[in-house]
Amino acid sequence: MISTSSYLKTKIDFLKGVGEKRAELLRDELGVKTFFDLINLYPFRYIDRTQFHNISTSQDGDTAQLKGTIVEKEKVKGRNNRYRLTALFKDSSGFVELIWFQSVKWLEESIKIGEEYIVFGKVNVFKGKKSIPHPELELASKMSAPKALEPVYSSTEKLNAFSLDNRSRRKLAQTVISKISQEDLPENLSEKVISQLKLCSRFQSYQWIHFPPSDLALKSAQNRIKFEEVLFLQLRLLQIRKKRELDLAGFSFEKVGSYFNSFFKEKLPFELTDAQKRVLKEIRADLKRGAQMNRLLQGDVGSGKTIVALMSMFIALDNGYQACMMAPTEILAQQHYAFISESVKGLGVQVAFLSGSVKGKTRAQLLQFLKEGHIDILVGTHALIEDPVVFKKLGLAVIDEQHRFGVIQRAKLWNKNDDYPPHVLVMTATPIPRTLAMTVYGDLDVSIIDELPPGRKEIETVHRFEKDRTRIVGFMHEEIKKGRQIYIVYPLIEESEKLDLQNLQEGYEQLLPYFPAPDFQIAVVHGRMKHADKDLEMQRFVSGKAQIMVATTVIEVGVNVPNASVMIIENAERFGLSQLHQLRGRVGRGAERSFCILMTSFKLTKEGKKRIETMCRTNNGFEISEVDMELRGAGNIEGTQQSGSIEFNLLDLFQDRNILITARHLADSILEDDPLLEKEENHPIAEYLAMYRAKYRDWGRIS
């Protein structure tokens, strides 16, 4: 049986060197409740303790190991009557000050002047003076043979304050690891898999990940743990998918009737791309097979996802059902409502809009009509999932910009019918790398529109600095003379002492002398404006009365102005790649050549340079998303977390793609051969998977 041994289940309070107070801190800061939890927090890096450095060559931020003597020490009284201990440490190349704020009395008594010590810590340089706060200190005569690979564990200020720093964590891990055996960590993979992939044992992986005897052993442990992490996620997602297909019956939409055909033949504003046609076929096949559709529709900005969603809604209408579309902001929901209302003119389709701003008698009447089935398509914000909103027969729910909704919010749509849940189509204009989609959306059917409609030109993206401002103003005048419009986007709307950013108000005022009224009109939009004022300013720009819109990122989604040809993003280094790509997608919607100008300061971080370089190099959203995920992490998509890293302790979605793909293929073949994991060779996998499944609520099946 796969079960953590009673020793590893022991509460962390009872580990030597912990005690009640430290146990509480380990629980609160790191989520460590048992010995097993402790050894599941792996080192984040390893240091070579056989190498020594010189004080003179150590730079600010370096982690250094020094050998020398303490020449003086002093106990200093600081603010709040708290003491610190300082010591002057010397080697053959120079001096460095050592500083401790905890255990001052004990250190003062134990440190011996003139003795040779080994010092290890992070070097700080301030006004030319070097110091090491809270260094590890050991008498050279008592230091055991140094290891080439010594683990380094993450810590927090609170943990450090209670002597649970890296050194203490290492000792605790050593205590647990030294007392466990193979029986404490039974295998969760079959012998066949271990042999086939040349993996080390589970027990060895825990030993070597914490205290590797060599680089080869460390690599072996890391590969085993990474593979295990992704294999069980894949098995879980594939089981969810299979269970959904078997258990979740859905409406069968057999007919493609007059709504769909009339729109296709008479109303379609342009010919569908091959990618759109392919995706529509995938959705049509889903809708008629009698199981609930749960499909993710990916497509870059402007790829035509909304048309595909609308035509999918027509299939629901043709079969006597209602449809809805939910968007994260009122601006975006209004845009969808305007587009759909215009598209269905003459087809006899009743479309309504619902958001928090629809109140009183209007709201009451709308809800009554919806319940009676007089509304065919309801478009709106998260107001759609509120309890008073009752459909007569909801057949299809479309969720736009799905990453902006929590999973629990999306789940509420499932309860809008008494018999079957509606078919669900979730859309995103934030492309997800194919490898990642295959991995973390393994329980969903994924459709990708990877082709832009004919006539859409690539947006030319350039990087400029403040010294180029005069040229940019001249360029803006040229574009406005051609009848074009311009967006200028700022990251902030008020001064910040911490961030030296040109804010929206200053930017607006600086534009006025160059674009004076009444010859020019400038619209201003930001998140703190009243809704009515924001709508008024938006409308001035949409209608063409204003040639320039100065805005914050409220226009990231939801503004469609084909006449806008220039997007200027101020302080572009302050935006994430995904956001920059979304903002750029506001232009290039007409037939004219379009431009995106990224304004930055000269000082750029390494990440900032990478983001700007990526934006200037490519318009491909999938390529951009690869870099974005690499910089930001991928998000716990099976659970309710929406950003940061997936529940992988070691696996890197980009560096470890081969492991990821191998695990995916193996999970497929295991379940293909033994769907219920009943074969004896798969018992360890089945037992461990049951434990793994218990860790998560089944949000993944909702999408």
What is the percentage of the chain residues whose pLDDT exceeds 90?
45
Interval 342-354: pLDDT, tens: 999 999 999 999 9
Q: Give the neighbor-by-neighbor strand order of the sheet with 351-354.
A: 351-354, 377-380, 322-326, 394-399, 423-428, 294-299, 445-449
- The lowest-confidence range among 58-62, 188-192, 451-455, 511-515 is 451-455
Q: Which domain CATH number covers 129?
A: 2.40.50.140
Last residue of a domain, one of 618, 653, 681: 618
| Chain CA centroid to CA 404, Å | 11
CA distance 83 to 74: 10
CB of 370 closer than 8 Å to CB of 323: no
What six digits make up the tokens of 445?
């059917």
Do 407 and 482 have their domain in common? no
Residue 697 lies in a domain: no
Provide the mean pLDDT of the chain.
Answer: 85
Residue 157 lies in a domain: no
Do 411 and 505 have their domain in common? no
Q: Which domain CATH number covers 497?
A: 3.40.50.300
Q: How far is CA 29 from CA 16, 168, 559, 695, in A?
A: 19, 15, 43, 19
CB of 616 closer than 8 Å to CB of 598: yes
pLDDT of residue 408: 61
CA distance 382 to 325: 10
Do 315 and 399 have their domain in common? yes
Residue 506 lies in a domain: yes
Do 495 and 420 have their domain in common? no
Do 135 and 282 have their domain in common? no
Residue 607 lies in a domain: yes
| Mean pLDDT calculated for residue range 35-61 | 89
Do 502 and 371 have their domain in common? no
Last residue of a domain, one of 91, 123, 145: 145
User: pLDDT band at 701, cuts 50/70/90?
Assistant: very low
User: pLDDT band at 569, cuts 50/70/90?
Assistant: very high
pLDDT of residue 500: 37
Do 467 and 569 have their domain in common? yes
Q: Are strands 129-133 and 124-126 parallel, antiparallel or unpaired?
A: antiparallel
Could you tell me which residue, 71 or 503, shows the higher pLDDT?
71
Return the closest-CA partner of residue 82 out of 97, 98, 106, 100: 100
- Preceding omega of 518 cis (within 30 degrees of 0): yes
Other CB atoms within 10 Å distance of the CB of residue 640: 12
Whether the per-residue pLDDT at 22 is higher than 80: the answer is yes
CA distance 409 to 386: 9
CA distance 225 to 66: 34
Report H helices in 254-359.
Answer: 258-262, 274-287, 305-318, 330-343
CB of 77 closer than 8 Å to CB of 66: no
Do 385 and 465 have their domain in common? no
CA distance 177 to 172: 9
Residue 194 lies in a domain: no
Interval 386-419: pLDDT, tens: 889 999 999 999 998 765 565 566 667 777 777 7
- What residues make up the domain containing 401? 258-287+304-428
Residue 509 lies in a domain: yes
Return the closest-CA partner of residue 405 out of 76, 619, 640, 131: 640
Could you tell me which residue, 514 or 3, shows the higher pLDDT?
514
Total domain count, the chain: 3
Interval 182-229: pLDDT, tens: 999 999 999 999 999 999 999 999 999 999 999 999 999 999 999 999
Radius of gyration of the chain (CA): 31
Return the closest-CA partner of residue 460 out of 645, 616, 658, 687: 616
pLDDT of residue 409: 63
Which amino acid is it at 653? L
Do 275 and 384 have their domain in common? yes
3-state secondary structure 184-205: HCCCCCCHHHHHHCCCCCHHHH
CA distance 188 to 683: 8
Do 573 and 497 have their domain in common? yes
CA distance 102 to 153: 19
- The lowest-confidence range among 225-239, 400-414, 419-433, 519-533 is 400-414
Last residue of a domain, one of 618, 652, 675: 618
Residue position matching structure tokens 């201003």: 524
User: Hey, CA dihedral for 694, 699, 701, 703, is it positive or negative?
Assistant: negative
Residue 162 lies in a domain: no
pLDDT of residue 498: 43
Residue 24 lies in a domain: no
| Mean pLDDT calculated for residue range 15-30 | 90
pLDDT of residue 702: 45
User: pLDDT band at 116, cuts 50/70/90?
Assistant: very high
Residue 464's beta-bridge partner residues? Answer: 599
Do 582 and 472 have their domain in common? yes
User: pLDDT band at 624, cuts 50/70/90?
Assistant: confident
Do 561 and 412 have their domain in common? no
| Chain CA centroid to CA 81, Å | 44
Whether the per-residue pLDDT at 105 is higher than 90: the answer is no
What six digits make up the tokens of 244?
């959904």
pLDDT of residue 604: 87
| Mean pLDDT calculated for residue range 117-137 | 89
Interval 250-288: pLDDT, tens: 889 999 999 999 999 998 878 899 999 999 999 999 999
